[in-house]
Structure 1
Amino acid sequence: MRRRLGYDGIVVAVPVSVPYRRFSTRTAHAFLGELLRTMLARANLPKARIDGLCVSSFSLAPDTAIALTEHFGMSARWVDHVPFGGASGIVALHRAARAVQAGDAEIVACLAGDTNDPDAFRRSTAAFSRFGQDAAYPYGASGTNAAVALLTDHYMRTFGAEAADLGRICVAQRTNAGAYPNALLRSAMTMEDYLASRPIAEPLRLFDCVMPCAGAEGFLVMHRETAEAEGLPHASLLGLVERHNAYPDDPIQTRAGWADGREDLYAQAGIGPDRIDFAELYDDYPVVVAIQLEDLGFCEKGEAKAFLAAHDLTNAGTFPINTCGGQLSGGQAGAAGGYLGVVEAVRQLTDAAEGAPVARADIGLVTGFGMINYDRGLSAGAAILSR
């Protein structure tokens, strides 16, 4: 294999969230347009300076990123459409970084957003994938709740984890969300509240499941020289990996592409997991966070239970995770959920946290995970960003 080109000089700037709404009849186009308009205003850049566009959305159809160039009145020389669900943010960052390095674009706007009308969740689960349509939905197993319930049950039985172990993630993230104004679930939650929440798809409880909503997340990718010339605070990209359909022979998923790529990731960054100050781990369900802690080398496989018990996961704690509350407390604005970690990490690394800042936040790890079929998630990725 040829030596991988690094990411020297590539930075991420202008992290923006469009406030979430539980339901909305606005189109995805409207949320994405508001996102781009806000990014340009905060960066004090004319629209013509954005010559690259990368878009992720579940509800943009029948349009794609190409159509948005006309909707937004912009002309781009590099465009990509990344429909990878929760992995979209990492994949978009990857594609945009390489485009800037190659000179195919100077500034790439990475945008993700979705609307959520009252019937959107039913429609999306009914048509999410061919596997789901053929093998799950006809039997009443609609959407990711049922699929991840099976994965959670297997993980708990295999490694001896209990509900309260995974609940530590949910409770800590609710604490983090309390200070973040964009989170939809900000009221305090105790472990007793978590354990008392109603069952959804056993062993999943209500607070194990993300709440669908509408909103948007985005960021700009460019060279450091460009950011400095424009006076834009930025975070540096130290390393990035993605892997799709990792370990296809595993009969049931207890690991994903992070395990395959972690040595490469840390080698690119020139650090180990002990240097990570905080982590924005994709969190559609708490078991996914537990698996990532193991796959990314913070503990051995099956030892997330002990890791969670030994660490305070809040922003003031020993290992902050999902510092704005993540999706479990913030809400999941469709594909924007996969961008939230990048947006929040850049905020923390540029002293622009909209919630509680993490002290001494110099290096952050961000992940993505997407495209859940009936037995596994197919796409995984991770990036390391630094101050």
Structure 2
Amino acid sequence: MVRKSYSGVVATVPVSIPYERYSIESAHWWIGRALRALAQGAGISHREIDGFAMASFSTAPDSAIGLTQHLGLSPRWLDHIPMGGVSGILSLRRAARAVQAGDADIVACVAGDTNQVDTFRRTLENFSRFAQDAAYPYGAGGANASFALIARHYMDRFGARREDFGKLCVAQRTNALRNPNALMKKPLTLEQYMNARPIADPIHLFDCVMPCAGAEGFLVMREETARSLGLPSARILSIIERHHAFSDDAVQYRGGWARDIGELYSMAGISQDAIDVVQTYDDYPVISMMQFEDLGFCGKGEGPDFVRSHSFEIDGSFPHNTSGGQLSAGQAGAAGGHLGIVECIRQVMGLAGPTQVEGAKLGLASGFGMINYDRGLSSGAVIFWGETT
């Protein structure tokens, strides 16, 4: 089946609310700050935003509908997408289709979470039925053990080494040092990475993201609307999403991207070689390596050699996670799934400031979310082309 393109729809006004390690504020407060920044960045009233897509782990018992009253919105299109690291891709895709259909003119896609003293524990306790029944009661402290299983399986199958994962982490820290909003402010060496304390073998300290508070957001609208507002924008060339792919894999070693890679590039009308900057979802470096393969930058099982033969800094041979990604900027809950999209929009519009990749016009951002015991259930990706006005 030939999918309808996203022609005429753009993303614009990428905003990041600077992260804090801990916060006494609510998720509502963080999301409200992002919404205000979106309205101010577009030069409009927040009441002109007639679509709202929200992602968060910590607004409960409120959902998106509750926040419309908290934030003074009256949208005619509303979505609440509680799907973690893939929420940004799904919000973008649904918002783009809503704009194409005329169901909304300006959609705010916002994700934000707080990180109070007990927030992370409560999130783990209520993350999923699996977590409630089969992991948390036995003392499992979140995703580390699950990703340790995935990482060890990947290493045994394809010959990846901790040094390969470390190369990605060190490069992202180097990038983060140019991002004023990144929480990690100190350089990281490969020696420090290798000597860091183990968390769940083979996962060590610097393989893990730092939970924090913050918010990310962007607007989706028609191209002519952006031009009328004088806004630079990023054209949406293609988007894919897939859930529960490759269920026969005993332990996950590939994601849904591999099922839909042909559509991703054919709809965009480009090959992967044309991409200037890549933002993968990086809750752990093994997942970034998996995405290099599944997104077509190398073959399955070739991720370790791909990492060994490239550099991943902003001025490297394969600019990757230029903001520092979640591993060095921080993971503000569900906003982690929007972080790469926001950075990708900035990059292709030439507005990334100190993290800008010279000449970047085509960017790819991907999402990955909702980890179960041995696999993440959801994946997605978007390709942007930048245009300034």
> Which TM-score bucket, shorter chain as reference?
over 0.9
- Please state how far the C-alpha of 1:123 moved relative to its aligned partner: 1.5
Q: Distance in 2 between matches of 1:129 and 1:201?
A: 21
2:277 matched residue in structure 1: 278
Q: Distance in 2 between matches of 1:143 and 1:354?
A: 35
1:371 matched residue in structure 2: 370
Q: Distance in 2 between matches of 1:330 and 1:367?
A: 17
1:245 matched residue in structure 2: 244
Q: Distance in 2 between matches of 1:62 and 1:138?
A: 23
Q: Distance in 1 between matches of 2:231 and 2:201?
A: 47
Write out aligned runs for 1:82-101 (5 A).
82-101=81-100
Q: Distance in 2 between matches of 1:121 and 1:354?
A: 32
Deviations 1:87-137 (A, max 9, x none): 000000000000000000000000100000111111211221111222222
SS of the aligned residue for 1:48 comes to: helix
1:384 matched residue in structure 2: 383
The answer (yes or no) to whether the contact 1:183–1:325 under 8 Å persists in 2 is yes
User: 2:180 corresponds to which letter in structure 1?
Assistant: P
Deviations 1:30-53 (A, max 9, x none): 000111111111211112220000
1:264 matched residue in structure 2: 263
SS of the aligned residue for 2:239 comes to: strand
SS of the aligned residue for 1:108 comes to: strand
User: 2:244 corresponds to which letter in structure 1?
Assistant: N
The answer (yes or no) to whether the contact 2:349–2:361 under 8 Å persists in 1 is no
2:232 matched residue in structure 1: 233
- Please state how far the C-alpha of 1:139 moved relative to its aligned partner: 2.4
1:223 matched residue in structure 2: 222
Identity of aligned residues (%): 58
| 2:306 counterpart of 1:307 | yes
- Please state how far the C-alpha of 1:140 moved relative to its aligned partner: 2.1
Q: Distance in 2 between matches of 1:133 and 1:74?
A: 34
Q: Distance in 1 between matches of 2:27 and 2:119?
A: 12
The answer (yes or no) to whether the contact 1:18–1:216 under 8 Å persists in 2 is yes
The answer (yes or no) to whether the contact 2:313–2:322 under 8 Å persists in 1 is yes
User: 1:244 corresponds to which letter in structure 2?
Assistant: H
Q: Distance in 2 between matches of 1:117 and 1:354?
A: 31
Task: Report how many residues are paired.
Answer: 386
SS of the aligned residue for 2:24 comes to: coil
Q: Distance in 2 between matches of 1:56 and 1:113?
A: 7
SS of the aligned residue for 1:36 comes to: helix
Write out aligned runs for 1:289-304 (5 A).
289-304=288-303
What TM-score, normalized to structure 1? 0.98
Q: Distance in 2 between matches of 1:383 and 1:268?
A: 11
User: 1:340 corresponds to which letter in structure 2?
Assistant: L
Write out aligned runs for 1:141-290 (5 A).
141-290=140-289
The answer (yes or no) to whether the contact 1:149–1:202 under 8 Å persists in 2 is yes
Runs (5+) with no aligned partner, structure 1: none
The answer (yes or no) to whether the contact 1:10–1:221 under 8 Å persists in 2 is yes
User: 1:317 corresponds to which letter in structure 2?
Assistant: G
Q: Distance in 2 between matches of 1:223 and 1:142?
A: 44
- Please state how far the C-alpha of 1:354 moved relative to its aligned partner: 4.0
1:134 matched residue in structure 2: 133
Q: Distance in 2 between matches of 1:48 and 1:66?
A: 15
1:43 matched residue in structure 2: 42
The answer (yes or no) to whether the contact 2:47–2:72 under 8 Å persists in 1 is no
1:331 matched residue in structure 2: 330
- Please state how far the C-alpha of 1:284 moved relative to its aligned partner: 0.3
- Is the deviation greater in 296-305 or in 94-103? 296-305
User: 2:307 corresponds to which letter in structure 1?
Assistant: L
Q: Distance in 2 between matches of 1:341 and 1:102?
A: 26
Give the superposed CA RMSD: 0.8
Q: Distance in 2 between matches of 1:303 and 1:362?
A: 27
User: 1:131 corresponds to which letter in structure 2?
Assistant: F
The answer (yes or no) to whether the contact 2:272–2:297 under 8 Å persists in 1 is yes
User: 2:318 corresponds to which letter in structure 1?
Assistant: F
SS of the aligned residue for 1:355 comes to: helix
SS of the aligned residue for 1:136 comes to: helix
The runs of at least 4 aligned residues of structure 1 exceeding 6 Å deviation read: none
2:78 matched residue in structure 1: 79
Q: Distance in 1 between matches of 2:369 and 2:63?
A: 19
SS of the aligned residue for 2:75 comes to: coil
Q: Distance in 2 between matches of 1:379 and 1:233?
A: 30
Deviations 1:251-310 (A, max 9, x none): 110001000011110010011111111100000000000000000111111111111111
The answer (yes or no) to whether the contact 2:208–2:284 under 8 Å persists in 1 is yes
